[in-house]
Amino acid sequence: MPQNPHQNALKQLEDVAKKIKLDKEIFEILSKPQRIIMMQIPVKMDSGKIQIFEAYRVEHNNARGPYKGGIRYFPQVDLNEVKALAHWMSLKCAVTGIPMGGGKGGITVDPHKLSSGELERLSRGFARAAADFLGPEKDVPAPDVYTNSQIMDWMVDEYKKTKEKQLKRKLKKSEYLPTLTGKSLGNGGSKGRDIATAQGGVFVLDEALKALKKKKGTVAIQGFGNAGYVAAKLLHDKGFKIVAVSDSRKALYCADGLDPDKVMKYKEKFGTVGLCDCKASGKKTCKSGSSCNCQGCKYIPQNKILTLDVDVLIPAALENQITKANANKVKADIILELANGPTTPEADVILRRKKITAIPDILANAGGVTVSYFEWYQNMKNEKWSEDKVARKLSPLMRQSFREVYKLAKKYKTDLRTGAGILAVKRLEEAIKKQS
Ligand code: GLU
C-alpha cells in the first residue's frame, strides 16, 4: 500500500500538537482544508478528440494571507497528495513569516506525453475553470513538479481574458499579474524565482552547518529538476563535492565529484543524467583532456542514491522516498529536504534514533514560495527588483527562520521538523484566533 501523504502530514501535526498542547479547535481547523475544488478540464487533443483531465485545487488555510502554492502536473496526482501539499504550504509560509496562506493544485497528467499545443490548451483550460476562485487577494498558484514559467504565462493570460469577459472591462495589471507567480521575466516574473528553492535551501544548509559545527563535504541529490539541478550547481560553486545525482531514469555516482553543468548538458542531449558522451557513442573510456570524463563515474541503482555515505543528502524529487524500509540504511549526517514530504513519519523516528539531522521541507524548500511572494509584491506595487535585491532579502529571512526553528527544537527537545511545525502552527493559531 503506498503511503498516503495527507496521513503523514496529519501525523506530523499531531506531534506538534502534543508538544505545545494545541487547542483542539485549532487542531481541527488545521487538519482539514478549508475548501477542495475538483475540476474536469476538457482538452481538444491534436487528434481532434476531446480528452478530459482531472484537476484539483485545495485551499488549506488563508488566515495569514491569500492561499499560495504550486500546481503540479503528474500522472499520479490525486486528492490526498494535493491535500498534503496544500497543508504543508500553509506551514511553509508561516515558517518564513510571509503573509500568505496555503493551497496547492494538481492535474493528473503526464505532460511529457502532450504536444506543446495540448499543454497550452490544458493550462488555459485550468485557468478558465479556476478563474472564479483565483485572484491576487484570494488564491495565487505557482509552478511545481513539471510546471514552469511558460505554463504560468498561459494561465495568467487566460485568467485575464476570462475575468475581462465576465466583468466587461479591462483589468489593471495589478488585478491580474499577481494572480500567478513563477511567470517568465518578460511577463511580470521575478528575477531569482527560478533558483529560489535551491538558493533558500543553500542558505538554510549554511546555517545548519554553523549550528552543528560541521564543514562542507560530499553531497548526493535525488532529482535533477529545477530544485535538484540548481542546488547541485550552487553547492558545487561553493566548494561542496557533488558525488551523486539522479533523475526519474538513472542515478550517476562519481567518486571524485561531478560538475552539474556537464551533467545537465548530457541530460539535455540524452534525456537523463550522465557525463560520458563516449558511453553513448559506444566507447568504453574517454581520452584524457576530452570534454567527457568517465573516470570514477558509474551508474548505480536509483534507490542507492538515498543510502550513499555522504555528508549531505538532498531529496529533491517527490514524497515518500525515505521510508521505514530504507531509513536504517541512510548514512548522511544531514538531510536537506528540497522536495515536499520526502520523509515519512516512520522514517523520521528512525532518523532521530540515528541522530541524522533532517532539515524539513517546510523550512528547507521555503525559498521558492518566498520569492513567489516577492514576485506577488512587485506585481502589486509595480516594482522590479534586481536579482541581487531578491537574494539580499531572501538570505536573512531563510537564515533567521532556520535559527528560530533550531531554537524551538532545542527548547522542546525535539527534531527540526517538529520545531518548524511548532513555529508555523503557533503563527497560524495566532492568525486564526484573530479572525474568529
Ligand atoms: N511549488 C513550490 C512549493 O512547493 C512553490 C510554491 C509557490 O511559489 O507558491 O513550495
Q: Is 384 noted as a catalytic residue in this protein?
A: no
- Cβ 340 under 6 angstroms from ligand 1: yes
Angle between helices 5-20 and 345-353 (to 10 degrees): 60
For residue 85, the CA-to-ligand 1 centroid distance in Å is: 9
Catalytic residue, candidates 68, 104, 163, 183: 104
* Protein residue with least CA distance to atom 7, ligand 1: 369
Note whether 106 and 82 are within 8 A (CB): yes
| Fold for the domain defined by 34-186 | Rossmann fold (3.40.50)
> Per residue of the chain (436 residues), what is the pLDDT tens digit?
568 999 999 999 999 999 999 999 999 999 999 999 999 999 999 999 999 999 999 999 999 999 999 999 999 999 999 999 999 999 999 999 999 999 999 999 999 999 999 999 999 999 999 999 999 999 999 999 999 999 999 999 999 999 999 999 999 999 999 999 999 999 999 999 999 999 999 999 999 999 999 999 999 999 999 999 999 999 999 999 999 999 999 999 999 999 999 999 999 999 999 986 555 445 554 444 444 456 678 999 999 999 999 999 999 999 999 999 999 999 999 999 999 999 999 999 999 999 999 999 999 999 999 999 999 999 999 999 999 999 999 999 999 999 999 999 999 999 999 999 999 999 999 999 998 7
User: Exposed/middle/buried for 147, CB within 10 Å: 0-12, 13-18, 19+?
Assistant: buried
DSSP 37-100: EEEEEEEE-TTS-EEEEEEEEEEEE-TTSSEEEEEEEETT--HHHHHHHHHHHHHHHHHHT-S-
- Cβ 368 under 6 angstroms from ligand 1: yes
Ligand 1 site-directed mutation target among 68, 100, 144, most atoms within 8 Å of CB:
144
Domain ranges of the chain: 34-186
